Amino acid sequence: MFEQIAHFIGGELVAEGTPFPAYDPVTGKQIREVHVADRDVVDRAVRAARAAAPAWAALPMAERAAWMRRLADGIEARFDDLVDVEIADTGKPVEQTRTLDIPRGAANFRSFAEIAAQRPSNAFHLPGVLSYTVHRPLGVVAVVVPWNLPFLLMTWKLAPALVAGNTVVVKPSENTPGSAALLAEICREIGLPPGVVNIVYGYGATGGHLVEHPGIDGVTFTGSTRTGSTIMRAVADRVKPVSFELGGKNAALVFEDADLDKAVAGTLRSVFTNGGQVCLCTERVYVQRSIFDEFARRLAAGAGEVYRQPMISAEHRDKVLSYFDLAREEGGEFLTGGGAVAGESGYYVEPTIVTGLPESSRFNTEEIFGPVCHLRPFDPEDEAVELANSSQYGLAATVWTTGLGRAHRVAQRLEAGLVWVNTWYLRDLRTPFGGVKLSGIGREGGTQSLDFYSEPTTITMELT
Ligand code: 6OD
């Protein structure tokens, strides 16, 4: 499916711009050609979004919510095709794609239809005065999507942006254009008004043309901290709002009172899901000294059993492998893994667990984004919290304990936007989602998403 992918502008497919190859990470073979949007193509997409904006914004919220439900229905009708394209682009396991990535697309649209309908509205009365707030859409939003959860994250941003009355220009990652191309088909199938959703493909330069465009009123982005700060600079002169979910170096804290079976299984999941290529994945595991050896032995044994998902590209595989070299140079001990998977033409690296490195090592401070973690013992609870908080990042953390008081005490001291206790990546789409420190700016999720994708105007009236 989709040997050639063209831009989606104003409801039409636009096959312009030099095509670039997209590869299957399982085989390393080319599977698609995708057109690169240059500045002119991006300009046309933004103009199409601007032309569609007034009529879309003028629709009653209930009608936009009905469109969200039609998009969800359209996704469910093309479920198997979406699973196939997403797997072809990423090498994800079938089970995960069928139970997480694609269902979340439909759930994102359905949830935000509900959340928007229930958005609270404030009115304050003083003697002789009434103050209340109305919300307007930002206008045209640039939606810049990463390659790790392409469909899940694209729809996570699209749903609230659209229901709040914005039109959008989406820029998927050059590595994972397939599910966006299928979403364009779904938009046509359900008859979404042309120009409400526009999609342009390309590398970083295309994203640059998009976020710099004077017709863009806000940018939502999930990806690296470096790209986030580049986007911030690009919009700084026009003072446009940004919502960023950026890098992580997430810690798991395993206490001696943890249910060990659960903690081992949960940590394997949090380290190795999606080949470690989720911003929420654990890369630093701190284990109370009394259970360290047993936990390390069981985690290393379990690592041999996890699903091996390829890295997204040859370039990313080489980056992950370079951290293994670094760990060797820095004096780390490999409990398991430490190299590429021999005999594979795809972009595979071994699930890898390292111990014995200083906290200040690059391996322990930089986001690697692969199937890899570092294990270190701790003694008192305070040390665990201190170690977890020693990172420049603050996206997610995981606490494994059966102590109720400890669970709350530790969770509340962790410098992270998201803390999971005795679980990982369990989501309620109504809750705020995002990170602190270098892990991002702003929160999406629930009404926080609607707040980002709209501007309030406060109206104050003298009543006498
Ligand atoms: O589940 C979500 O809503 C979400 N925003 C996940 C982000 C994962 C980043 O890699």
Looking at residue 1, what is its pLDDT? Answer: 85
Nearest to 287 by CA among 264, 305, 265: 264
- Residue 129 CA to ligand 1 center (angstroms) comes to 43
Residue of 147, 149, 393, 444 to test ligand 1 pocket, by largest number of atoms within 8 Å of CB: 149
Q: Is residue 396 scored above 90 in pLDDT? A: yes
Q: Is residue 343 scored above 90 in pLDDT? A: no
Measured by CA distance, the residue closest to atom 7 of ligand 1 is 279
Looking at residue 43, what is its pLDDT? Answer: 98
Go through the domains of the chain in sequence order and give each one's CATH number.
3-246+439-462 (3.40.605.10), 250-428 (3.40.309.10)
Separation of alpha carbons 211 and 33, rounded Å: 24
Nearest to 448 by CA among 111, 58, 150: 111
Amino acid at 405: G
How do residues 280-323 score in pLDDT, each as one tens digit? 999 999 999 999 999 999 999 999 999 999 999 999 999 999 99
- For 211-243, letters b (16+ CB in 10 Å) and e give bbbebbbbbbbbbbbebbeebbebbeeeebbbb
Looking at residue 56, what is its pLDDT? Answer: 98
> What would the mean pLDDT of 19-26 be, rounded to a whole number?
96
First CA to last CA distance, the chain = 66
How do residues 134-147 score in pLDDT, each as one tens digit? 999 999 999 999 99
Average pLDDT, the chain: 97
Q: How far from 138 is each of 13, 120, 219, CA to CA, in Å? A: 26, 19, 10
Separation of alpha carbons 164 and 241, rounded Å: 15
How do residues 230-288 score in pLDDT, each as one tens digit? 999 999 999 999 999 999 999 999 999 999 999 999 999 999 999 999 999 999 999 99
Measured by CA distance, the residue closest to atom 1 of ligand 1 is 427
- Residue 290 CA to ligand 1 center (angstroms) comes to 34
Looking at residue 121, what is its pLDDT? Answer: 87
Amino acid at 78: R
CB-based pocket (< 6 A), ligand 1: 148-149, 153, 156, 222, 245, 278-280, 427, 433
Residue of 148, 154, 222 to test ligand 1 pocket, by largest number of atoms within 8 Å of CB: 222
Q: Is the dihedral of CA 110, 111, 115, 116 positive or negative?
A: negative
**Which of the four pLDDT bands, split at 50, 70 and 90, describes residue 176?**
very high
- The 3-state DSSP class for residue 298 equals helix
Our CA angle for 146, 149, 155, nearest 5°, is: 85
Strand 12-14 to strand 7-9: parallel, antiparallel, or no bridges (unpaired)?
antiparallel
How do residues 201-222 score in pLDDT, each as one tens digit? 999 999 999 999 999 999 999 9
- Residue 433 CA to ligand 1 center (angstroms) comes to 8
How do residues 98-143 score in pLDDT, each as one tens digit? 999 999 999 999 999 999 999 988 999 999 999 999 999 999 999 9
At 434, give phi and psi (nearest 5°). 160, -175
